[in-house]
Amino acid sequence: MSQQSDVLRTRIQLIPRGVRVQGREHLAIGMVATGTVLWGAHAVGLPLEPGPVVAGVVLAGVGSLAPDIDQPQSMISNGIPATLFALGVCMAAGAPLMKMMAARNDVWSAVFSGLGQFAAPLVPVGLLFILLALVMLFASRAVRAQFKHRGEMHSLTLAGAGIILGLLMCAVLRLPAWVGILFSLGWVSHLVADATTPAGLSELFWPFEVPGVVLGRGVAATLLILVMVLGLAGWVQASGAMLSSLAHGAAPATGNVALARERLAEASPEIEASLVKPDEPIIEAVGANTSYTWERLQKTTDGAVLVRTITLTLDSTGNVVGVDQR
């Protein structure tokens, strides 16, 4: 018996490690890769506002797990949908349950009534979580019915489709385009990690019949060290920029004042001529649009001079989408 145990232990030790990258490892690699991009974005002067950065990190995390939707026990197919479903049920049922408890008219009714008011805004969020969980579960089943594990989902073709999907999500949510690219970055980081395992990627160039790719340990180590170093630098840089923005307020928006004055003059030359400081409007970013607010002087019929304001809003193409006079 002891000899058989020794043989079994020897066989187990001979199994090469790193045959499979776990979901949490894919997530970690995707996050440091995202940090690299954030570092680059900050270096070239792109604004790192908290909202888009958080959205980009979430999309990158989803992208780093997405290729494993062809595996039933993966985080994206099993763990995340189960967690979303459980949270969704709790959020959606919280307010109705508190309302039912408050209707008992006992000493705790006021407490349950207050909790119900607090939980009410969470109901639509909970329903959204439940919907996302069901979509992910059905998507996983549909993908598994068509594709094998580490097959077509682990290809550059679908990684490219991920770029299009990410950009579409940004268009719907009105986020900067670079946020959507982070989704495909997470997807590519997943492929790179899987390519470092002995099994490699047999369908990397699908639908073309090209031999699979296996990165050597030296190449893998170099890539991972480079990504980790740049990723750490990126997270430090981005965190500093976001903390500074939260502490001191967002950096002032920039716009094309000359174009805004031109559009205002086209609409009303009299108003444009009455601006107090025509080259120094208050500029604000409103989603994808930019608003310009000036003070202007207006004479009344009795000769008095009033100080009024006018706000002109331009879209990303320079067209007027709103005018507000006060």
Do 306 and 220 lie in one domain? The reply is no
Do 319 and 172 lie in one domain? The reply is no
Report if residue 14 sits inside a domain. no
Which pLDDT score is estimated for 273?
85
Q: Out of 188, 222, 248, pick the residue that ends a domain.
A: 248
- Report the mean per-residue pLDDT for the chain: 71
Given a cut of 60, whether residue 277 has pLDDT beyond it is yes
If one counts the domains in the chain, the total is: 2
Higher-confidence residue: 21 or 100? Answer: 100
Which pLDDT score is estimated for 189?
78
Given a cut of 80, whether residue 27 has pLDDT beyond it is no
* Measured distance CA(42)–CA(7) in Å, rounded: 56
Which pLDDT score is estimated for 11?
37
Around Cβ 310, how many Cβ atoms within 10 Å?
Answer: 21
Report if residue 239 sits inside a domain. yes
Given a cut of 50, whether residue 164 has pLDDT beyond it is yes
* Measured distance CA(109)–CA(259) in Å, rounded: 60
Do 71 and 199 lie in one domain? The reply is yes
| CB-based contact 126:92 (threshold 8 Å) | yes
Residue 46's pLDDT band, with cuts at 50, 70 and 90, is low
Which pLDDT score is estimated for 53?
74
Given a cut of 60, whether residue 236 has pLDDT beyond it is no
C-alpha dist (Å) from residue 254 to 88, 191, 260, 286, 289: 40, 39, 12, 12, 11
Given a cut of 50, whether residue 135 has pLDDT beyond it is yes
Alpha-carbon torsion (20, 21, 23, 24), positive or negative: positive
C-alpha dist (Å) from residue 159 to 73, 139, 206: 21, 17, 11
Task: Provide the percentage of residues in the chain whose pLDDT is more than 70.
Answer: 66
Report if residue 213 sits inside a domain. yes
What's the token pair of residue 86? 């459980």
Do 264 and 219 lie in one domain? The reply is no
Do 40 and 102 lie in one domain? The reply is yes
| Residue span of the structural domain in which 272 resides | 257-325
Around Cβ 271, how many Cβ atoms within 10 Å?
Answer: 18
Which pLDDT score is estimated for 153?
72
Residue 1's pLDDT band, with cuts at 50, 70 and 90, is very low
Ramachandran angles phi, psi of 322, nearest 5°: -170, 145
